Structures are given as structure tokens and as C-alpha cells.
């Protein structure tokens, strides 16, 4: 199959919508990461997503809508707390887990009786869903086990020959996947951190809980409430280690480890901030230490770059695990198998 990449335009969106209606897959921009979209109500189309990604069938998909009115037929109930979160953060980078209706095929929800729903902020994404006239099931448009794509080029690298069309909407603003919040009860729980932060949820609901697996590796026998968390995601080929502590100590420890690795014949690289001085060592930029969103927006591209350059050791500066920083540390932590050195 020939894969076309087209910049977002009215025409390209109409072409993509027609493909979705015909049961085909489309690579689509959103504000979080690029999605691999299919008609959420068409079981055959949804199966193609799992095939194209190489995604395990027990990992459920998020269903995207273009307005809040489209949700009613997809769910059995909307608890009051969920309603408050929708009013506060939609459209935006937040997925709510709700009890699913029979309209949602089992393969979308991987057999669970709940479904993840999101109203994205990206205008291109909403325009595509509206033009298709159907909710769109879309996981991240990477091959399973690769970092989520934040540019159309990343999608092309992973999906060339597997899908007919990628809509190019430029780089994703947020850069990490949506916050996933279990809102089936009256006390929502953050299962996966993202652009809607625990602090933001707390400001609306008065309190917030965050699932314990967000910042720790899974132990054998642990029960996960968010199936995606049990898969090893985003792991670059490089042995990845995170350094956390006072800024000067982190920089010194990274430089020392880098020099050791180099002497041992490895190919080390640093994931570090622009303001920090690592001398002549190879640095892949996480952006500015002063802008919390930079590391989120760049992290996945940095992980891809590590692999492209054939680096064998990656030494990463930690960010503070508050606000969007929690989402960064969750993804970086998983890339590193939560190998975090406290200095
Ligand atoms: P992705 O679309 O690739 O970012 O992955 C979607 C993730 O959302 C899954 O891996 C799950 O962790 C989570 N998710 C989706 N639907 C549900 C659900 N019904 N219950 C719990 N977690 C879900
Ligand atoms: Mg994904």
C-alpha cells in the first residue's frame, strides 16, 4: 500500500473522512501525539489498527469525539464528577474512562465494560471526526513498543506501507499522550498522567488520587487498572538511566557516567536542558529548563533520535514530578525501566 502524507486542509480532511467511513485507517494529528484513527463503531476497521500497530488485543483504544453531545450513545452513565472534568478540561488532553454502551465493539475496549473517551483540542482532529460523522478510535500511531509519534514524519517512519493517508498538522503541542482518568465512580483516579495535571484535577474536584503504578515498575502479580501500563513502552535501544537531585550534582554525575561509558567503548548521549553545561559531550536537547512543557513536547523525538544515532547509553536529567513534569517522569521512567539514580 502506498502511504500519502498531506498537510491539513479542508480537502485533505474530507479525503481522510471518506477513508474513515470506508473502514480504512488514517494517521491524524492531535494536540497530544499523532493518532491512528478508524471508525470506532466498525469492528473490522478497528481490527486493522491492532494489525498495523502490532498492538496486543488486550490493550484498549481511546474513542475520540468532536463534541460532548456525541458521547451519550457511547456510554451507560456520566457520573457527576466526570461531568465536572468534561466541563473544565474538554476539549483537551484528557481521556475519561466511563461505563461503555453496547454501541462500542468489544475489540475497542479489549473486552472491558468501560471505554476511554476524549474530546481533543486539536481543530484538525475535531474537523476530521465531524466530517467522518463517526467517533474515531485512535491509539498513538507508532508501531507497538516504539515512542509515540509527535510529527507526521514519525508516523511515516512507523506506518509507511501500512496505511493509505497521514494528515500532517505539524508538531504536537503537548507531546505526551492524554491523561487517562478513571471516572466510572464519584472519586476519579488518574491512571496515566498527561497534559491535564493532578493539580488541575484537584482544583476542580477538591482532591485527586493518582494510581500507584504511575511512578513505579510493575511487580509480578500486580493488577493494573490501565492495561497499557503493563507493556514496556518507549524503550530506546540505549541503556537509559535518569539522574535526579540538585542541579549541579546531577550535571556532575551525568558527566562522570558519560566519561566512564565512553572509556568503556560505549556510545553515550545526554538528554539535557539547554541552560546546562555538559562541555563537549553529546547532548540531545530537552529544551529549556525554564519551560515545563518543553521536555514533554520533545521527549519522544529525543528517544527516537537516540535510536537513529545508534547511541548505546542514554543519561537523562530528571524533571520535577509536578504539573506536566509527572507525565514526563512517567514516560522517561518507563523508557529507563525506572532506573533512577538519586544524587
Ligand atoms: P494509547 O491510545 O496508545 O495512548 O493507549 C490508550 C491507553 O489508555 C491504554 O493503553 C490504556 O492504558 C488506557 N485505556 C484505554 N481504555 C481504557 C479503559 N477502558 N480502561 C482503562 N484504561 C484504558
Ligand atoms: Mg500508545
pLDDT digits (tens, 9 = 90+) for 34-82: 999 999 999 999 999 999 999 999 999 999 999 999 999 999 999 999 9
Ligand 1 touching residue 37 (CB < 6 A): no
Q: Which atom of ligand 1 is nearest to the CA of 109?
A: 19
Ligand 1 touching residue 201 (CB < 6 A): no
Cis omega (within 30 of 0) for bond into 279:
no
Domain 239-342 in this protein, CATH class: alpha beta
Enter the C-alpha cell of residue 128. 476530521
Global pTM reads 0.96
Q: How far is CA 195 from CA 57, 120, 172, in A?
A: 26, 12, 12
User: Residue 139 region, left (φ>0) first, then alpha (ψ -120 to 50), else beta?
Assistant: beta
Which pLDDT score is estimated for 216? 82
Ligand 1 centre and the CA of 61: distance in Å?
Answer: 6
Ligand 1 touching residue 59 (CB < 6 A): yes
CB 101 within 8 A of CB 28: no
Which pLDDT score is estimated for 228? 72
Ligand 1 centre and the CA of 98: distance in Å?
Answer: 12
Residue nearest to atom 9 of ligand 1 (CA): 228
What does 103-157 look like in DSSP terms, one character per residue?
TS-HHHHTT-SEEEEE--S-HHHHHHHHHHTS-EE--BSSPTTSPPP-SHHHHHH
Average per-residue pLDDT for the chain: 95
Which pLDDT score is estimated for 213? 87
Where along the chain do its domains lie? 4-215, 239-342
Ligand 2 centre and the CA of 143: distance in Å?
Answer: 9
Between CA 55 and CA 238, with CA 34 as vertex, the angle to 5 degrees is 65
Which pLDDT score is estimated for 217? 77
Ligand 1 centre and the CA of 297: distance in Å?
Answer: 20
CB 234 within 8 A of CB 147: yes
pLDDT digits (tens, 9 = 90+) for 79-119: 999 999 999 999 999 999 999 999 999 999 999 999 999 99
Task: Kindly tell me the burial class for residue 303, based on how many C-beta atoms sit within 10 Å of its own C-beta (0-12, 13-18, 19 or more).
Answer: buried
Residue nearest to atom 17 of ligand 1 (CA): 116
* Averages of pLDDT over each 10 residues, the chain, 343 residues: 97 98 98 98 98 94 98 98 98 98 97 97 98 98 93 98 98 98 96 97 96 82 73 81 97 98 98 98 97 96 96 98 97 94 97
How far apart CA 73 and CA 153 sit, in angstroms, is 35
Which pLDDT score is estimated for 233? 66
Which pLDDT score is estimated for 46? 98
Ligand 1 touching residue 114 (CB < 6 A): yes
Instruction: Classify domain 4-215 by CATH number.
Output: 3.90.870.10
Ligand 1 touching residue 228 (CB < 6 A): yes
Ligand nearest to the CA of 189: 1
Ligand 1: which of 145, 228, 230, 334 to mutate, most ligand atoms within 8 Å of CB?
Answer: 228
Ligand 1 touching residue 144 (CB < 6 A): no
Amino acid at each position: 500500500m502506498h502511504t500519502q502524507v498531506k498537510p491539513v486542509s479542508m480537502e485533505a480532511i474530507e479525503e481522510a473522512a471518506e477513508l474513515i467511513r470506508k473502514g480504512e485507517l488514517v494517521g491524524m494529528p492531535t494536540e497530544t501525539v499523532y493518532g491512528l484513527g478508524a471508525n470506532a463503531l466498525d469492528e473490522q476497521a478497528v481490527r486493522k489498527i491492532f494489525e498495523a500497530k502490532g498492538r496486543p488485543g488486550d490493550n484498549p483504544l481511546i474513542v475520540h469525539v468532536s463534541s460532548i453531545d456525541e458521547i451519550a450513545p457511547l456510554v451507560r452513565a456520566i457520573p457527576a464528577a466526570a461531568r465536572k472534568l468534561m466541563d473544565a478540561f474538554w476539549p483537551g488532553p484528557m481521556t475519561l474512562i466511563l461505563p461503555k454502551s453496547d454501541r462500542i465493539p468489544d475489540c475497542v475496549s479489549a473486552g472491558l465494560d468501560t471505554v476511554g473517551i476524549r474530546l481533543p483540542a486539536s481543530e484538525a482532529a475535531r474537523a476530521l471526526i465531524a466530517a467522518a460523522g463517526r467517533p474515531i478510535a485512535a491509539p498513538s500511531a507508532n508501531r507497538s513498543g516504539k515512542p509515540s509519534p509527535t510529527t507526521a514524519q514519525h508516523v511515516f517512519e512507523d506506518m509507511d506501507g501500512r496505511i493509505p493517508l497521514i494528515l500532517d498538522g505539524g508538531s504536537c503541542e503537548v507531546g505526551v499522550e492524554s491523561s487517562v482518568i478513571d471516572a466510572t465512580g464519584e472519586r476519579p483516579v488518574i491512571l496515566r498522567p498527561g497534559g491535564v495535571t493532578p493539580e488541575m484535577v484537584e482544583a476542580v474536584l477538591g482532591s485527586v488520587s493518582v494510581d500507584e503504578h504511575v511512578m513505579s515498575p510493575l511487580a509480578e502479580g500486580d493488577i493494573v487498572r490501565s492495561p497499557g501500563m503493563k507493556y514496556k513502552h518507549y524503550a530506546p535501544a540505549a541503556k537509559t538511566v535518569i539522574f535526579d537531585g540538585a542541579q549541579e550534582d546531577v550535571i556532575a554525575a551525568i558527566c562522570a557516567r558519560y566519561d566512564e561509558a565512553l572509556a568503556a567503548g560505549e556510545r553515550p548521549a545526554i538528554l539535557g536542558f539547554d541552560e546546562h553545561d555538559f562541555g563537549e559531550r553529546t547532548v540531545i536537547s530537552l529544551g529549556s529548563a525554564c519551560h515545563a512543557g518543553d521536555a514533554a513536547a520533545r521527549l519522544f523525538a529525543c528517544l527516537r533520535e537516540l535510536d537513529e544515532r545508534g547511541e548505546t547509553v542514554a543519561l537523562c536529567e530528571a524533571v520535577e514530578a509536578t504539573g506536566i513534569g509527572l507525565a514526563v517522569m512517567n514516560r522517561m521512567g518507563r523508557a529507563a525501566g525506572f532506573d533512577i539514580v538519586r544524587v
